[in-house]
Amino acid sequence: MKFLRSTYLIVLSSRPFRKAIPFIGTILGNLNLELNAEKTRITTTREGFEFLGFRFFRKYVHSYGKEYTYTRPAKQSIKSVKTRIKDITQRAVNEDISETVKSLNLLMRGWSNYYRDINAYKSLEKVQNYALNRLRKYLRKRHTKSGFGYREYDLEYMKKIGFKTIQTRP
């Protein structure tokens, strides 16, 4: 017997479908599959769900007068990439600045390429700003200076040392 890892039933109203789970289990049993009760979830389109680092949900747009389906990076995915950025820019790491920037560029390029086909402009921009601020903090601490370093380490300076900005489309 094989298990379905994750099962999502996306419905307009979840009440009638709660009774349908045993029926769906019977159908899957005929296919030698079994529902994993812990991971099976019934959700409405408005609540949405997360799958493979993406969050899918529907939202009513007043200006168009109808609902649209949105896809965004999941909050856990954003949190994870921020943790990795923080690990790269730790003050205790005694790498050359070019190696640190190279590692950041690789991480940011991979993450942005994964989400390139969805409208993730705001999320990508937030992650990029977080990376820039962490890099500024890293540079300030290396030179034993206090403050944020916005004037000293502006975007032009960051580009000079090799930081590549994410190509986002608004």
DSSP-assigned letters across all residues of 67-88 = EEEEEEE-HHHHHHHHHHHHHH
Share of the chain residues as helix, strand and coil, in percent rounded to the nearest 5: 45, 20, 35
In this structure, is residue 97 part of a structural domain? yes
In this structure, is residue 119 part of a structural domain? yes
Q: Residue 9 sits in which domain range?
A: 1-44
Query: Over the stretch 111-166, which tens digit does the pLDDT of each residue have?
Result: 988 988 888 888 888 999 999 999 888 888 777 677 777 677 888 888 888 888 88
Q: Is the pLDDT of residue 101 over 80?
A: yes
Q: Is the pLDDT of residue 168 over 70?
A: no
Query: Over the stretch 27-68, which tens digit does the pLDDT of each residue have?
Result: 878 888 777 777 777 777 788 888 888 888 888 888 888 888
Which of 119, 43, 111 lies closest to 81 in space, CA to CA?
Answer: 111
In this structure, is residue 168 part of a structural domain? no
Q: Are residues 26 and 102 in the same domain?
A: no
Q: Are residues 32 and 95 in the same domain?
A: no
Query: Over the stretch 69-93, which tens digit does the pLDDT of each residue have?
Result: 888 999 999 999 999 999 988 865 6
Q: Are residues 80 and 131 in the same domain?
A: yes
Q: Where are the alpha helices (DSSP H) in the chain?
A: 15-18, 21-30, 75-88, 97-114, 121-142, 155-160
Distance of CA 155 to the CA centre of its chain: 24
Q: Are residues 156 and 80 in the same domain?
A: yes
